[in-house]
Amino acid sequence: MEHMKYIESKKNDEIKQLKKLSATKNIRKTGTYMIEGFHLVREADQYEQKFLKLFVTENYADDRLVKKYYDIATTVSEDVAEEMSETKTPQGIFAVIKVADVEDSPKLSGKWVILDDVQDPGNVGTIVRTADAAGFDGVITSLNSADTYQPKVQRSMQGSQFHLPIYRMDIKKAIKLAQDSSMKVYGSEVDKNAKPYNKLAKADDFALIMGNEAHGVSREVLVNCDENIYIPILGKAESLNVAVAAGVLMYGLQSL
Amino acid sequence: MEHMKYIESKKNDEIKQLKKLSATKNIRKTGTYMIEGFHLVREADQYEQKFLKLFVTENYADDRLVKKYYDIATTVSEDVAEEMSETKTPQGIFAVIKVADVEDSPKLSGKWVILDDVQDPGNVGTIVRTADAAGFDGVITSLNSADTYQPKVQRSMQGSQFHLPIYRMDIKKAIKLAQDSSMKVYGSEVDKNAKPYNKLAKADDFALIMGNEAHGVSREVLVNCDENIYIPILGKAESLNVAVAAGVLMYGLQSL
């Protein structure tokens, strides 16, 4: 067996190109993105994502997963791993993966979350992870939400991105798709005039819309929903963090 | 009326000293901490926190709140505000506040959250904010949890730190205090052998323990709990983010 290709210098051209992959526009342009960390790389492999490249530090060289991708694997120095990493303590394993092909107008069913311009990458990632945990069927992000292929979003999804479909489209189109599929569409808002979430009638197929951190779900969207719901504030806080609110609502609606 | 004191240079000694206040050890040593942003400063004023200093950029100079604290207020340049700020787009208003006096052995009642070494500042802050929203009566953080006076924690609490008591003590002492006050103590874990949270008997007085991001609630703590509970994972995710889990549990236990 030949030795794997080895990159020692962080000034290497290939490494410089890879660093650019964290920018959303380059992800969409190249149709590829990078994930980092053993857990995520293993999940991607297990859920049959298309690997284009694998980069590992020497301590991973004998790993079974790395051997599987031997033909596309490169060993890198600790120095290079630090340069590639988005974290302070890199694990030393990175994969470049093909962006999943997604249908333009998917048929929806079951329980979905739609994000109306949720902009913090940690919030978007955490909501996808929670949707997975709560047994939801998929997530749609509006065009101004944080891109789910961004490294920070990828990291907070913790592998859930491989467990359920994630689409990106205009929010109006998303609502139309859901309603065309006979799903109820619930807008969420911080407004006591909306319906408390735990008073909703149980539904098997619905889409739950979560809004922007500062402005919530836009008025334009709320008027098109079948029902608007809120989480009662029992103390003195003005609102909840959007990822926490999504969790309360997803589990709350699952146990109606 | 005299003009307020004005600081133009970010190399000013007072500003340099203030920058050091974000370090936990200095907060505890000086018994003071800094908060930033209009919303937080207004909440602190409204909930009668003890202001020691106020720093504002010129656009705030005529604000009613600033006039109230005229004697301890200083105007600073935009340059200084940027230097003082923990955010990328500073609002230009900062207050130095006295750390609240807290009893050493408070009497607890009602619904409390106890954090067993929750280390991410955003998670700790978000949990306090959620505890406030969910109508809980207070929060106790273990000695290895992120310090609630840290700027990042202060920011994510969004003013809830002024709405409910937050204590910091050894976790064993916290559990003993709760049990001595006839409260049920619930440990949370990611383990199907624990009890699903929605199957718990309703209780008016209880303490809910949330655990460290990587290791959960420690085994040593779990064995001392009256009941251990979990959030059913309905999909393929391995776990939930701790702040989301806290939200699901707090609202879930409130609606038993």
What was the pLDDT predicted at B87? 87
pLDDT of residue B1 exceeding 70, the answer is no
B139 and B46, same domain (yes or no): no
- Does position A225 have pLDDT exceeding 90, yes or no? yes
Which domain range does residue A92 map to? Answer: 5-98
CA neighbor of B44 nearest in space, from B128, B169, B168, B157: B157
Q: Are residues A87 and A195 in the same domain?
A: no
* Torsion, Cα of B19, B25, B29, B35 (10° steps): 50
Pair A143, A38 in one domain = no
**pLDDT tens for residues A76-88?**
999 999 999 988 8
Looking at the predicted structure, is the pLDDT value of residue A1 above 70? Answer: no
- Token pair recorded at residue B194: 């624990």
Whether residues A115 and A94 share a domain: the answer is: no
Whole-number pLDDT of residue A107? 87
Residues B174 and B86 in one domain: no
Task: Tell me which residue has tokens 């592998």.
Answer: A159
The span from the CA of A115 to the CA of A213, in Å, is 11
pLDDT score recorded for residue A104: 77
Q: Which residue of A has its CA nearest to B132?
A: A235
Q: Which residue from A minimizes the CA distance to B239?
A: A133
Task: State the smallest CA–CA distance between residue B200 and chain A in angstroms.
Answer: 14
- Do A182 and A228 have their domain in common? yes
In angstroms, the separation between the Cα of residue A242 and the nearest Cα of chain B is 10
The per-residue pLDDT for range B113-151, each reduced to its tens digit, is 999 999 999 999 999 999 999 999 999 999 999 999 999
Domain count within chain B: 2
Residues A94 and A115 in one domain: no
Question: In whole angstroms, how large is the CA radius of gyration of chain B?
Answer: 20
Asked if residue A176 belongs to a domain, the reply is yes
Closest CA to A224 of A173, A161, A181, A154: A173
Q: How far is B14 from chain A (nearest CA, A)?
A: 31
pLDDT for B2 equals: 60
pLDDT of B85 above 80 = yes
> Which residue, A98, A129, A161, sits at the end of a domain?
A98
Predicted local confidence at residue B105, as pLDDT: 81
Confidence grade of residue B235 (pLDDT, cut at 50, 70, 90)? very high
Closest CA to B242 of B219, B210, B206: B210
Phi and psi torsions of B23, nearest 5°? -80, 130
Q: Which of B64, B98, B132 is the C-terminal boundary of a domain?
A: B98
Are residues B248 and B133 part of one domain? yes
Task: Choose the closest CB to A164 out of B134, B235, B255.
Answer: B235
Mean predicted lDDT score pLDDT of chain A: 94
Residues B148, B241, single domain; the answer is: yes
Here the CATH number for the domain that contains residue A56 is 3.30.1330.30
Would you say residue B105 lies in a domain?
no
List pLDDT tens digits, range A134-152. Answer: 999 999 999 999 999 999 9
On whether the CB atoms of residues B120 and B148 are closer than 8 A, the answer is no
Does some domain include residue B250?
Answer: yes
> Residues B228, B126: one domain?
yes
pLDDT tens-digit readout, B180-223: 999 999 999 999 999 999 999 999 999 999 999 999 999 999 99
Minimum distance, in Å, between the CA of residue A160 and any CA atom of chain B: 6
- Which of A98, A125, A149 corresponds to the end of one domain? A98
Residues of B contacting chain A (CB within 8 angstroms): 122, 126, 129-136, 156, 158-160, 163-164, 198, 231, 233-241, 243-248, 251-252, 254-255
Residue A139 lies in a domain: yes
Q: What is the pLDDT of residue A2?
A: 60
Same structural domain, B126 and B17: no
Q: What is the pLDDT of residue B12?
A: 95
Residue B104 domain flag:
no
CATH of the domain at A187: 3.40.1280.10
User: From A198, which residue of chain B is nearest by alpha-carbon distance?
Assistant: B255
Tell me the pLDDT tens digit for each residue of A31-90.
Answer: 999 999 999 999 999 999 999 999 999 999 889 999 999 999 999 999 999 999 988 889
Beta strands in chain A (DSSP E): 5-7, 32-36, 51-56, 73-76, 93-98, 111-116, 138-141, 166-168, 184-188, 195-196, 206-211, 227-230
Q: Is the pLDDT of residue B239 over 90?
A: yes
Considering only CB atoms, which chain A residues are within 8 Å of B233? 133
Which residue of chain B has the CA closest to A235? B135
Residue B54 is assigned to a structural domain of this protein:
yes
| ipTM of the modeled complex | 0.94
pLDDT tens for B156-187 read: 999 999 999 999 999 999 999 999 999 999 99
Asked, for residue B86, whether it belongs to a domain, the answer is yes
**Residue A104 included in any domain:** no
Question: Which residues of chain A does B135 touch, with a Cβ-Cβ cutoff of 8 Å?
Answer: 234-235
Residues B59 and B168 in one domain: no
